[in-house]
Amino acid sequence: MESIVLEAPAKINLVLDIKGKRPDGYHELETVMHQINLVDRIHIKTNGEAGINLTTDHPGLTCGQENLAYRAAQLIFQESGCTTGIQVLIEKRIPLGAGLAGGSSDAAAVLSGINRLFELGYDITQLMGMAGCLGSDVPFCLLGIESAGATALARGRGEILQTLPHCILPWILIVNPGFELSTAEAYRYFSLDAVKTRPDLSAFLAAWNECAIIDIARQLSNVLETVSIPRCPLIEGIKQDMVARGALKALMSGSGPTVFGLYHEEAAARWAEQYFQSHYSQVHLVSSYSRGDYYAGK
Protein backbone atom coordinates (compact mmCIF):
# COMPACT_ATOMS: atom_id res chain seq x y z
CA MET A 1 0.00 0.00 0.00
CA GLU A 2 1.39 3.41 -0.94
CA SER A 3 -1.41 5.69 0.12
CA ILE A 4 -4.46 5.87 2.36
CA VAL A 5 -7.36 8.29 2.82
CA LEU A 6 -9.15 8.59 6.15
CA GLU A 7 -12.09 10.56 7.44
CA ALA A 8 -11.47 12.62 10.57
CA PRO A 9 -14.88 13.43 12.07
CA ALA A 10 -15.73 16.39 14.30
CA LYS A 11 -17.23 15.84 17.74
CA ILE A 12 -19.80 17.66 19.80
CA ASN A 13 -20.06 17.53 23.59
CA LEU A 14 -23.59 16.54 24.61
CA VAL A 15 -22.69 16.93 28.28
CA LEU A 16 -19.62 18.66 29.68
CA ASP A 17 -19.05 18.92 33.40
CA ILE A 18 -15.87 19.98 35.23
CA LYS A 19 -15.33 18.35 38.60
CA GLY A 20 -12.36 20.44 39.67
CA LYS A 21 -8.75 21.39 38.94
CA ARG A 22 -6.06 18.72 39.13
CA PRO A 23 -2.54 19.02 40.51
CA ASP A 24 -1.16 18.75 36.94
CA GLY A 25 -3.06 21.92 35.93
CA TYR A 26 -5.67 20.10 33.84
CA HIS A 27 -9.33 19.88 34.82
CA GLU A 28 -11.13 16.72 35.85
CA LEU A 29 -13.88 16.18 33.29
CA GLU A 30 -17.08 14.25 32.89
CA THR A 31 -18.15 14.70 29.29
CA VAL A 32 -20.10 12.84 26.64
CA MET A 33 -18.55 13.20 23.21
CA HIS A 34 -20.36 12.28 20.02
CA GLN A 35 -18.93 12.15 16.49
CA ILE A 36 -20.84 13.87 13.69
CA ASN A 37 -20.58 13.59 9.93
CA LEU A 38 -18.74 16.84 9.45
CA VAL A 39 -15.32 15.49 8.48
CA ASP A 40 -11.86 16.46 7.35
CA ARG A 41 -10.26 14.06 4.86
CA ILE A 42 -6.67 13.04 5.51
CA HIS A 43 -4.61 11.77 2.55
CA ILE A 44 -1.34 10.07 3.48
CA LYS A 45 1.16 8.72 1.00
CA THR A 46 4.75 7.60 1.00
CA ASN A 47 7.23 10.10 -0.36
CA GLY A 48 10.65 9.66 -1.98
CA GLU A 49 12.14 12.36 0.22
CA ALA A 50 12.66 11.70 3.93
CA GLY A 51 10.63 13.63 6.51
CA ILE A 52 7.06 14.79 6.96
CA ASN A 53 5.52 17.02 4.33
CA LEU A 54 2.17 18.42 5.49
CA THR A 55 -0.11 20.50 3.27
CA THR A 56 -3.71 21.67 3.45
CA ASP A 57 -6.39 23.32 1.33
CA HIS A 58 -7.22 25.71 4.22
CA PRO A 59 -5.37 29.04 4.10
CA GLY A 60 -5.68 29.60 7.87
CA LEU A 61 -4.04 26.35 8.91
CA THR A 62 -0.32 26.18 9.67
CA CYS A 63 1.53 23.09 8.52
CA GLY A 64 4.63 22.88 10.72
CA GLN A 65 5.33 21.67 14.25
CA GLU A 66 2.43 23.76 15.60
CA ASN A 67 -0.02 21.53 13.73
CA LEU A 68 -1.08 18.62 15.95
CA ALA A 69 -1.34 16.33 12.92
CA TYR A 70 2.34 17.00 12.17
CA ARG A 71 3.26 16.18 15.78
CA ALA A 72 1.20 12.98 15.55
CA ALA A 73 3.25 11.86 12.53
CA GLN A 74 6.49 12.76 14.33
CA LEU A 75 5.45 10.83 17.44
CA ILE A 76 4.51 7.57 15.71
CA PHE A 77 7.67 7.71 13.56
CA GLN A 78 9.78 8.28 16.67
CA GLU A 79 8.09 5.39 18.52
CA SER A 80 8.38 2.97 15.61
CA GLY A 81 11.76 4.02 14.24
CA CYS A 82 10.16 4.32 10.79
CA THR A 83 12.13 6.71 8.56
CA THR A 84 10.20 6.61 5.28
CA GLY A 85 9.15 10.03 4.00
CA ILE A 86 5.44 10.85 3.93
CA GLN A 87 3.16 13.42 2.45
CA VAL A 88 0.02 14.35 4.37
CA LEU A 89 -2.76 16.45 2.87
CA ILE A 90 -5.52 17.76 5.14
CA GLU A 91 -8.75 18.59 3.31
CA LYS A 92 -10.16 20.87 5.97
CA ARG A 93 -13.93 21.16 6.46
CA ILE A 94 -14.19 21.37 10.26
CA PRO A 95 -13.92 25.00 11.44
CA LEU A 96 -10.72 25.88 13.33
CA GLY A 97 -10.65 26.69 17.08
CA ALA A 98 -14.32 25.82 17.15
CA GLY A 99 -14.87 23.38 20.04
CA LEU A 100 -15.35 20.57 17.51
CA ALA A 101 -11.96 18.83 17.99
CA GLY A 102 -11.00 19.23 14.33
CA GLY A 103 -7.26 19.39 15.05
CA SER A 104 -7.46 16.45 17.47
CA SER A 105 -9.35 14.37 14.94
CA ASP A 106 -6.80 15.12 12.20
CA ALA A 107 -4.02 14.02 14.59
CA ALA A 108 -5.90 10.82 15.45
CA ALA A 109 -6.40 10.06 11.75
CA VAL A 110 -2.68 10.54 11.12
CA LEU A 111 -1.80 8.05 13.91
CA SER A 112 -4.31 5.54 12.60
CA GLY A 113 -3.34 6.09 8.95
CA ILE A 114 0.43 5.75 9.44
CA ASN A 115 -0.10 2.63 11.54
CA ARG A 116 -2.12 1.07 8.70
CA LEU A 117 -0.04 2.39 5.79
CA PHE A 118 3.25 1.06 7.14
CA GLU A 119 1.69 -1.98 8.84
CA LEU A 120 3.35 -0.97 12.11
CA GLY A 121 1.12 -3.35 14.06
CA TYR A 122 0.21 -1.07 16.98
CA ASP A 123 -2.99 -2.19 18.69
CA ILE A 124 -5.69 0.22 19.86
CA THR A 125 -4.27 0.42 23.42
CA GLN A 126 -0.83 1.41 22.13
CA LEU A 127 -2.30 3.96 19.73
CA MET A 128 -4.45 5.35 22.56
CA GLY A 129 -1.30 5.88 24.63
CA MET A 130 0.23 7.96 21.83
CA ALA A 131 -3.06 9.82 21.32
CA GLY A 132 -3.15 10.77 25.02
CA CYS A 133 0.33 12.33 24.72
CA LEU A 134 -0.90 14.59 21.92
CA GLY A 135 -4.02 16.04 23.56
CA SER A 136 -7.03 15.37 25.76
CA ASP A 137 -9.55 14.85 22.92
CA VAL A 138 -7.27 12.80 20.66
CA PRO A 139 -8.00 9.39 22.30
CA PHE A 140 -11.76 9.82 21.77
CA CYS A 141 -11.24 10.89 18.15
CA LEU A 142 -9.02 7.85 17.60
CA LEU A 143 -11.60 5.53 19.14
CA GLY A 144 -14.16 6.76 16.63
CA ILE A 145 -11.79 6.49 13.67
CA GLU A 146 -10.81 2.94 14.61
CA SER A 147 -14.48 1.93 15.01
CA ALA A 148 -17.45 2.99 12.91
CA GLY A 149 -17.90 6.27 14.78
CA ALA A 150 -18.22 6.73 18.51
CA THR A 151 -20.11 8.18 21.41
CA ALA A 152 -18.26 7.93 24.70
CA LEU A 153 -18.30 9.12 28.27
CA ALA A 154 -14.88 10.63 28.92
CA ARG A 155 -13.36 11.18 32.34
CA GLY A 156 -9.96 12.26 33.65
CA ARG A 157 -8.44 14.81 31.26
CA GLY A 158 -10.77 13.36 28.65
CA GLU A 159 -8.67 10.26 27.94
CA ILE A 160 -10.50 7.71 30.16
CA LEU A 161 -13.20 6.47 27.83
CA GLN A 162 -16.31 4.39 28.20
CA THR A 163 -18.08 3.67 24.91
CA LEU A 164 -21.82 4.33 24.97
CA PRO A 165 -24.45 2.46 22.95
CA HIS A 166 -25.16 3.48 19.39
CA CYS A 167 -27.86 6.12 18.93
CA ILE A 168 -28.32 8.18 15.77
CA LEU A 169 -29.20 11.86 16.13
CA PRO A 170 -30.69 12.48 12.70
CA TRP A 171 -30.68 16.30 12.49
CA ILE A 172 -27.90 18.29 14.12
CA LEU A 173 -27.51 21.89 13.02
CA ILE A 174 -24.02 23.27 13.48
CA VAL A 175 -23.47 27.03 13.46
CA ASN A 176 -20.00 28.48 13.83
CA PRO A 177 -19.94 32.26 14.24
CA GLY A 178 -16.65 32.60 12.35
CA PHE A 179 -14.12 33.35 15.09
CA GLU A 180 -11.85 31.07 17.11
CA LEU A 181 -11.75 30.55 20.87
CA SER A 182 -8.80 29.17 22.80
CA THR A 183 -9.55 26.02 24.81
CA ALA A 184 -6.72 26.76 27.24
CA GLU A 185 -8.17 30.21 27.97
CA ALA A 186 -11.68 28.87 28.53
CA TYR A 187 -10.34 26.45 31.15
CA ARG A 188 -8.15 29.14 32.69
CA TYR A 189 -11.13 31.43 33.31
CA PHE A 190 -13.46 28.65 34.47
CA SER A 191 -14.77 28.95 38.02
CA LEU A 192 -17.07 26.42 39.67
CA ASP A 193 -18.70 29.35 41.53
CA ALA A 194 -20.15 30.64 38.26
CA VAL A 195 -21.98 27.37 37.56
CA LYS A 196 -25.66 27.58 38.51
CA THR A 197 -26.88 24.27 37.08
CA ARG A 198 -24.72 21.19 36.78
CA PRO A 199 -25.38 18.55 34.13
CA ASP A 200 -27.38 15.54 35.32
CA LEU A 201 -25.23 12.76 33.89
CA SER A 202 -27.39 9.87 35.06
CA ALA A 203 -30.52 11.44 33.55
CA PHE A 204 -28.59 12.00 30.31
CA LEU A 205 -27.34 8.40 30.23
CA ALA A 206 -30.85 7.05 30.89
CA ALA A 207 -32.14 9.08 27.93
CA TRP A 208 -29.19 8.04 25.77
CA ASN A 209 -29.63 4.35 26.51
CA GLU A 210 -33.24 4.63 25.33
CA CYS A 211 -32.15 6.78 22.36
CA ALA A 212 -35.00 9.11 23.37
CA ILE A 213 -34.13 12.27 21.45
CA ILE A 214 -36.49 14.63 23.28
CA ASP A 215 -35.12 13.51 26.65
CA ILE A 216 -31.53 13.62 25.34
CA ALA A 217 -32.12 17.21 24.21
CA ARG A 218 -33.51 18.14 27.61
CA GLN A 219 -30.30 16.93 29.30
CA LEU A 220 -27.79 18.74 27.04
CA SER A 221 -25.54 20.83 29.29
CA ASN A 222 -22.07 22.39 29.18
CA VAL A 223 -20.51 24.23 32.13
CA LEU A 224 -17.94 25.95 29.87
CA GLU A 225 -20.80 28.14 28.61
CA THR A 226 -20.33 30.06 31.88
CA VAL A 227 -16.95 31.22 30.56
CA SER A 228 -17.47 31.57 26.82
CA ILE A 229 -20.97 33.16 26.72
CA PRO A 230 -20.13 36.18 28.91
CA ARG A 231 -17.04 36.74 26.73
CA CYS A 232 -18.96 36.21 23.46
CA PRO A 233 -22.68 36.91 23.97
CA LEU A 234 -23.29 36.06 20.30
CA ILE A 235 -23.13 32.39 21.36
CA GLU A 236 -26.24 32.89 23.50
CA GLY A 237 -27.89 34.75 20.62
CA ILE A 238 -27.32 31.80 18.27
CA LYS A 239 -28.67 29.38 20.88
CA GLN A 240 -31.84 31.42 21.31
CA ASP A 241 -32.29 31.80 17.54
CA MET A 242 -32.01 28.03 17.13
CA VAL A 243 -34.68 27.33 19.72
CA ALA A 244 -36.87 30.04 18.18
CA ARG A 245 -36.46 28.15 14.89
CA GLY A 246 -37.58 24.77 16.11
CA ALA A 247 -34.57 23.19 17.83
CA LEU A 248 -35.43 20.89 20.71
CA LYS A 249 -32.45 22.50 22.45
CA ALA A 250 -29.21 24.23 21.48
CA LEU A 251 -25.84 24.06 23.24
CA MET A 252 -22.28 25.30 22.82
CA SER A 253 -19.83 22.51 21.96
CA GLY A 254 -16.61 22.14 23.99
CA SER A 255 -15.12 25.53 24.80
CA GLY A 256 -17.00 27.08 21.86
CA PRO A 257 -17.79 29.11 19.98
CA THR A 258 -19.70 26.58 17.81
CA VAL A 259 -23.34 26.02 18.72
CA PHE A 260 -25.31 22.92 17.79
CA GLY A 261 -29.05 22.35 17.89
CA LEU A 262 -30.90 19.05 17.90
CA TYR A 263 -33.94 18.78 15.66
CA HIS A 264 -36.63 16.15 15.62
CA GLU A 265 -37.82 16.78 12.09
CA GLU A 266 -36.10 17.40 8.79
CA ALA A 267 -38.39 20.25 7.68
CA ALA A 268 -37.68 22.38 10.76
CA ALA A 269 -33.95 21.63 10.55
CA ARG A 270 -33.77 22.65 6.88
CA TRP A 271 -35.75 25.82 7.51
CA ALA A 272 -33.39 26.79 10.32
CA GLU A 273 -30.35 25.86 8.20
CA GLN A 274 -31.50 28.31 5.50
CA TYR A 275 -32.00 31.06 8.05
CA PHE A 276 -28.54 30.62 9.57
CA GLN A 277 -26.88 30.32 6.16
CA SER A 278 -28.02 33.84 5.39
CA HIS A 279 -26.25 35.10 8.53
CA TYR A 280 -23.15 32.90 8.94
CA SER A 281 -20.76 31.23 6.51
CA GLN A 282 -20.10 28.07 8.56
CA VAL A 283 -23.45 26.30 8.83
CA HIS A 284 -23.74 22.54 8.49
CA LEU A 285 -26.76 20.31 8.81
CA VAL A 286 -25.36 16.92 9.81
CA SER A 287 -26.24 13.73 11.66
CA SER A 288 -24.32 11.31 13.84
CA TYR A 289 -21.19 9.94 12.17
CA SER A 290 -20.91 6.50 10.77
CA ARG A 291 -18.03 5.60 8.53
CA GLY A 292 -18.42 6.06 4.81
CA ASP A 293 -21.11 8.66 5.34
CA TYR A 294 -19.25 11.93 5.23
CA TYR A 295 -20.02 15.54 4.69
CA ALA A 296 -18.82 16.46 1.23
CA GLY A 297 -19.13 20.23 1.56
CA LYS A 298 -21.35 22.69 -0.20
Active site residues: 11, 137
Among 99, 113, 144, 158, binds ligand C5P (CB under 6 A): 158
CB 35 within 8 A of CB 8: no
- 118 vs 183, beta carbon nearer ligand C5P: 183
Interface with ligand C5P, residue 71, by CB under 6 A: no
Residue numbers 123-152 binding ligand C5P by CB under 6 A:
135-137
Cα–Cα dist 163/165, whole Å: 7
Q: Per rule CB under 6 A, is residue 29 in the interface with ligand C5P?
A: yes
For residues 50 and 74, the answer to whether their CB atoms sit within 8 Å is no
Q: How many CA atoms lie within 13 A of 115 on its CB side?
A: 24
164 binds ligand C5P (CB under 6 A): no
Query: How far apart, in whole angstroms, are the C-alpha atoms of residue 34 and residue 12?
Result: 5
Size of the residue set binding ligand C5P (CB under 6 A)? 11
Under rule CB under 6 A, residue 67 binds ligand C5P: no
What's the closest the beta carbon of residue 18 comes to ligand C5P, in angstroms?
8
Report the residue number, 135 or 261, with the smaller CB distance to ligand C5P. Answer: 135
Binding flag, residue 99, ligand C5P (CB under 6 A) = no
Closest distance of CB 144 from ligand C5P, Å: 16
Nearer Cβ to ligand C5P, position 56 or 136? 136
Give me the residues that bind ligand C5P (CB under 6 A), please: 26-27, 29, 135-137, 157-158, 183-184, 187
